[in-house]
Copies of this chain bind each other. A is one copy, B any other.
Amino acid sequence: MPESLAGCTVHIVGLGLMGGSLALALRGQVERLTGHDLIPEAVEHARRTGAIDEESASAQGADIIVLAIPADRIVSQVAALDARPGALVIDLGSTKTQICAALDRLPDGVRAVGGHPMCGLAENGYQHAISTLYRGARFVLCETARTTPDARALAEALVHAVGAHPLWMDRCRHDELTALTSHLPHLLNFALMRLAMARAAQDPDVYALAAGGFDGATRLARTAESMIAGMFSTNAHELRRAAAELREHLDALECLLDDAPALQRELGAIVEARRAYTTAYGERLIT
């Protein structure tokens, strides 16, 4: 008989946007929710709004332990995790290779699955958490050396419980793909904002001519730096590779800047691809 999510105590480490929203989505679907966060106000807010039943600094009483902290901190903290034998550890980190390698080294008997839900907001913190955040999102799951068949089933049950769709994937492949689809967009948003800051230091009028285009292209630079630094530093190699490729595509477009007809043909093919993408996948606004 498969293990039931309904009978589980779930412990969430990190009650920010992702951990808090997961807790809110799990309410009423599990036996008990506990949690911990370095920010006392986040814990108090989560307790007061019923996201967790109780604060707990320990994971020992939990059947499922969810690590919802920055990726670099997951890597460094997994070794010290006080998970009891039989517990399932799952993380929500935005990179998977280094995290899964840390999960591989958990004690025999502790079960573990790497996870990455493909959803979020530009803002962080429990005050932005919503129970519907995961609804309809793909939720990447990665096997580790501690993934048993029943761990797979329980992880999938958790994903379904928050309204998301499990997508099993190799850890390296995840990091290669998300370097392009997520980490590089973040890096470009931060680099553009950094450039605007440098110009604004010399010329305060820069922002007077900024509008929706600039706002949208720097929106990801609102995300908490601890999350982004963890994301970048644990996938630095793939991110550098994606950034190098991006520079080549910038080169290709810059070469055409003085040739309007050729430029228009080139841009037309890109617009067509972007529209086909929207038709296939919909359009997701990060608000």
Contacts and interface: CB of A to CB of B under 8 A. Distances in A.
Contact of A253 (B187, B264, B280): B187
Interface string A254-268: 100111110111011
Given A246-B191, A253-B191, A286-B213, A264 B177 contact: no
Contacts of A246: 191-192, 195
Contacts of A140: 209
B274 A218 contact: yes
A205 interface: yes
A110 interface: no
Contacts of A189: 217
Nearest to A118: B211
Contacts of A228: 267
Contact of A221 (B229, B233, B271): B271
A119 to B, nearest CB: 6
Given A246-B191, A263-B232, A268-B225, A212 B284 contact: yes
Nearest to A169: B209
B249 A243 contact: no
A207 to B, nearest CB: 6
Interface residues of A, number: 97
A174 interface: yes
A182 B211 contact: yes
A26 interface: no
A264 B226 contact: yes
Given A211-B182, A212-B285, A198 B230 contact: no
B249 A191 contact: yes
Contact of A211 (B181, B187, B245): B181
A138 interface: yes
A236 B257 contact: yes
10 contacts: A177-B206, A195-B249, A207-B281, A216-B216, A218-B274, A218-B277, A225-B264, A229-B263, A239-B257, A247-B247
